[in-house]
Structures are given as C-alpha cells and as structure tokens.
Structure 1
Amino acid sequence: MATAGGPTLRRRQLGAELRRLREHAGKRIEDVAAHLECSMSKISRVETGQAPIKARDVRDLLQWYGVTDPELTEAVMLVHKGAQQQGWWAHYNEVLPSGMATYAGLEADARVLRSYEPTFVHGLLQTEDYARAVIAAVRPNEPYEVDQLVRFRKERQALLTRTPEPLELWVVVEESALRRPVGGIEVMVAQLEHLAGAAELPNVTIQIMPTAKGAHAALAGTFSLLEFGPREPTVVYVNSIAGNVYLEKERDVRTFIQTFDLVRAAAPDPQETPTTLERIAREMQAS
C-alpha cells in the first residue's frame, strides 16, 4: 500500500486500506461499529480519512479481518503512525474554521491545484493586506483571530515556492472579483500587481474570466481540484457559507474536471492576464 505524503494524506490512505480489508473480509460497517463499540458514522469517517483511530483498534481490526501477513500489518501500522503526526497547521487549530485543517493538509500534500474563484483572489495569491481585509470582514470583532488567520494564509503560500516540487497552481478568477476594492483602492492595486508577479512563476497559471462573457459552466460557485499523483484519487473541495464538502467519487470528480476544463477554455489565454491586470488597476486608480 502507498505510504507517501503528510498526515492528512496518510490518514486517507489508512482509511482506504481499512475499507478494502473490511470489504475483502465480508464485513459491513455496522459489523465493525458493533465490534469496536462505536457509531457507524465514526467508522465511516475513519474509512474516509476524516477521523482518527487508535493503534490498538487498528491492530484489532487487522486481526478480525483475518490479516496474517506480517509485512502488510507492519505497513498498515506504519501508515497509522504517520497519520498521527501533526502538520504545521495544527498550531492554528483554535482559530481555523471547521474543515479548514483538513483542507490545509490536503493542499500541503497536493501536487496540482486547480481552482475557480468567482468572488475573491485565491488564498495562495493574496497579499497580506488583502487577506487581512477579507478575514476582518468575516470576523470584525476578533482581532487576534484575524492576525492568526493572516499568518496561516501566509504560511500556506510557501507551497508555491517549496523545493524540490512547488505546488502547480491553475486559477480561473472572475474579473468582477478583481474589481471589488477589498481593503480600498490602494490595497487592491497592490494585490493586482502581486497577481501579475505571481503569474510569472513557472508553476502558476492565472486566467481572468471577463464579466462580459456572461453565463458559463461554473456559475454555481467556487471549487478546487486537488491532485496528488497517480496512486491517489483527485479530491474536489467545495467551499460555501453552509460548510465545506469533499467529493471523491469518480463520477463527481469527473463532473468537476469537465467543468474546470470548460471554464478555462472559455476564459482568455493566460498570456493576456498581465495586460488585463494592468488595465483593471489603471481604471481602478482613475475612478
């Protein structure tokens, strides 16, 4: 079984392997829940990598599933050990919105991230002043939390310059999002200049969807596709006020891949991005 990646990806790997072994043993989720004396939802969350499981329970399940190969047992326990480690984002757990720690872990393990952004500049591309304005608008009475979340966002951005393999980022952002003066004209102009600089990175592609394009395939809202490599399935992340949703079923993932392909095909060529950013900044300063 695969053992690569950080704690979030390893937790997902562990869950997938436990699910495979359960199905091979002919056990149902309700059987496992009764065996471990816990809820079915807990087992479901363990198998999808959303909840931890104790080492003794893993060993118990392996024995109950009839696993006799010592190498397989050792490999599963090694993945479990890696899944228990804390990522750098754990320092921000007290202020992170629900589900954000999971996303940060997936993002840190991803090799490729493709995102459609209708409302804001993508978090990995935000300046500190822009990020502060966005976060403060949501948490106006929590200055400490705002400071912490700004630092958290800045730490995430290190993925774009990590070595030896920086995260490959492809973002399609709506023109209307870039014309919204978040933090004021000066902050927004600086943000546009920052985007122009980021677009020069070899691992960053930015497309701007003109408002004049009208309706297109992704108008339902923001989403991201996280790709980890050939052995790990792509994950779709959908963020909304109602909560965060992670989709992994092949049919769901395929739908979002097709949607992103349609959106980037409809948007102007990335080579036009610097000129568009300069024009928006100029018009914003003149208004």
Structure 2
Amino acid sequence: MPIVREPLDPKISMWHFLAFYLRFLREKEGLSLAQCGKIINVARSTVSNMEAGRQRPHQDQMQKLDAAYGTGLLFQLLLWYARMAHDPDWGRQFIHYEEQASLIRLFHGQVIPLVFQTDAYTWECVRAGTSKDREMAMARRLARKQQVLGRGDDVDIWVLIDEAALARPVGGGKLMKQQVEHLLELAQKENVSLRIVPFSSGAHLGVDGSFELVRVGDREIGYSGAQNGGRVIESPGEVRVLADLFDRIGAKASSEGESRNILKQYAERY
C-alpha cells in the first residue's frame, strides 16, 4: 500500500493554508500530482513539495491554477496573503534559503550580525534573550553560522554594520576586542565586503531595524527583523524596496578601507 501523507494543518500559518488548498482542490478536481504539474509546467515532485510546504509556489503558477480550476483569484490572493503575513516557521524557511544563496546582504544596527559573531559574543546575546532553553538556542545559532561560513567562496557576503554595534560593549571589553579582531579577519576574505556606517553619517534609513537579502538563483528573498520574530519577504516589489534600502544605507557607509581603520580603532580602545 502506498503511504498516504496527511495534509498540512491550515491553522498553523498562511503558507500551510495555501499548501492545504493546493492539495484539496487538486484532489477535488481528480488530478494526479503529475497532471497538476503539467498545468504549471513543473515536475510531479515539485507539486508534492508545494503541497508539503517544502517549496513555495510562484505567482505565475498560481495564475495557471486559478485559470485551470476556475477559482478566480483564489490562489493568487492566498499567495499574496502568505507573503505578507508573519510566518511562525519563518526561521526554518529562511535558513533553507541561506543554504542555497549565492549572495547574502545584511544590515545590522544594534548588534554584530550572527554570521560574523564570535561564539562568545553569540552566547552573550543568547543569555540576554528570552529563550528558556539557552543551550538549544546557542546550538541553533552556531549551526546557522557554520552553514553560511562553511560554504567558503561559494557565497558572497556583503555586510553593513552601524557603528553603534561596535560601541555597545557586549560581554565586556575583552570579549569585544576579540569580536572586533574577528571582524577584521573576516574583512580580509575575498568573498566578504564589510563596511561600517559611522556615527558621523548622522540619521539614516537603517534606524528602523535590521534586515537581510539573499539571492537564490534568479530570485531575491528578504527578511526583516522585529521583536518576537521577523518576517520573510518574497514579494518582488517588497524585496526591491529592501534592496534600495540597502543601497541607500550603503551610501552613508565608509569604504571598506576606512571601515577597517574604524575597526582597528575600536580594537585598540577595547
């Protein structure tokens, strides 16, 4: 007997809701995975992955399903709402994108971005957080760092860090000296561009919070940080806004050489 997979719980998130109805309406129409795949020009396995929440559909695919099923704008609207909504499972999904990314662009204003943190700095951030299982939270963060840095030159990383993150003595002077020296080492890598947004640049658009952009194939996906969880951004229009934001903050940042000098000054200060 073939294994029949249970449908996703549509109450968990809008993405689960969309995946649930992809399967529900396909089965209601009496279509196999392969037949549905022909409608949207993908393989049977891709349809299966969409219905299992492992792969997210594109706008043109939802348009084709709406036309085939006679559902008006149903799937297109479900995709829009899923992209706009807070996803409780955003972390797992975005980490999956990071694993495939050829380019990662980061802006952080308050702390050093995770990928560039020393383990000691990461532990101080975990201790200051709200996680009840600190050991588990630490293990997850270390795994995520290794996942990105372990890829070496396969991924380019462009980072903008506000000087405020350097001035905040997380864990004390000794730890911060090690952290700043770690940044200097990373800044020497060919696949890394690290620039500091100095205090002297005044107010800039990054004061609203941290964000990240990853390039996967010919797509870009964004993540916007917030209290109690962030939001994965897949809508092309919103992603373009984040990309423009990165460029405009970058216009206020020091050059790579000047940024290294700023880092050296902080290393001496600590």
Query: How far does residue 201 in structure 1 lie from its aligned partner after superposition?
Result: 1.3
Given that residues 90 and 232 in structure 2 are in contact (C-alpha distance below 8 angstroms), is that contact kept between their aligned partners in structure 1?
no
Equivalent in the alignment of 1:172:
160
Q: Aligned partners of 2:262 and 2:51: how far apart in 1? A: 44
Given that residues 115 and 170 in structure 1 are in contact (C-alpha distance below 8 angstroms), is that contact kept between their aligned partners in structure 2?
yes
Query: For residues 34-91 of structure 1, what are the alpha-carbon distances to aligned partners after superposition, in whole Å with 9 as ceiling and x for unaligned?
Result: xx9x86x77951487xx6x5997586267459974887788132563599699xxxxx
Query: How far does residue 103 in structure 1 lie from its aligned partner after superposition?
Result: 2.3
Equivalent in the alignment of 1:155:
143
Given that residues 207 and 270 in structure 1 are in contact (C-alpha distance below 8 angstroms), is that contact kept between their aligned partners in structure 2?
yes
Equivalent in the alignment of 1:235:
221
Aligned alpha-carbon RMSD (Å) = 3.5
Given that residues 119 and 174 in structure 1 are in contact (C-alpha distance below 8 angstroms), is that contact kept between their aligned partners in structure 2?
yes
Of residues 257, 265, 268, the one that matches 1:279 is 265
Q: Are the structure 2 counterparts of residues 151 and 83 from structure 1 closer, same or farther at C-alpha, using a change threshold of 3 Å?
A: farther
Equivalent in the alignment of 2:106:
115
Q: Aligned partners of 2:135 and 2:150: how far apart in 1? A: 23
Given that residues 161 and 167 in structure 1 are in contact (C-alpha distance below 8 angstroms), is that contact kept between their aligned partners in structure 2?
no
Given that residues 234 and 253 in structure 1 are in contact (C-alpha distance below 8 angstroms), is that contact kept between their aligned partners in structure 2?
yes
Q: Which sections of structure 2, spanning at least 5 residues, go unmatched?
A: 1-6, 55-87
Q: Are the structure 2 counterparts of residues 168 and 47 from structure 1 closer, same or farther at C-alpha, using a change threshold of 3 Å?
A: farther
Equivalent in the alignment of 2:71:
none
The count of aligned residue pairs is: 229
Percent identity of paired positions between Structure 1 and Structure 2: 25
Query: For residues 130-181 of structure 1, what are the alpha-carbon distances to aligned partners after superposition, in whole Å with 9 as ceiling and x for unaligned?
Result: 00001101137x4xx2222222222222222326x53211110011111111
Q: Are the structure 2 counterparts of residues 167 and 150 from structure 1 closer, same or farther at C-alpha, using a change threshold of 3 Å?
A: farther
Q: Aligned partners of 1:247 and 1:56: how far apart in 2? A: 24
Q: Aligned partners of 2:121 and 2:26: how far apart in 1? A: 48
Q: Does 2:178 align with 1:210?
A: no
Q: Does 2:124 align with 1:133?
A: yes
Query: For residues 71-130 of structure 1, what are the alpha-carbon distances to aligned partners after superposition, in whole Å with 9 as ceiling and x for unaligned?
Result: 7788132563599699xxxxxxxxxx8632222222212221111100110100111100
Equivalent in the alignment of 2:15:
45
Given that residues 227 and 235 in structure 1 are in contact (C-alpha distance below 8 angstroms), is that contact kept between their aligned partners in structure 2?
yes
Of residues 182, 193, 199, the one that matches 2:181 is 193
- TM-score, length basis structure 2: 0.72
Given that residues 156 and 192 in structure 2 are in contact (C-alpha distance below 8 angstroms), is that contact kept between their aligned partners in structure 1?
yes
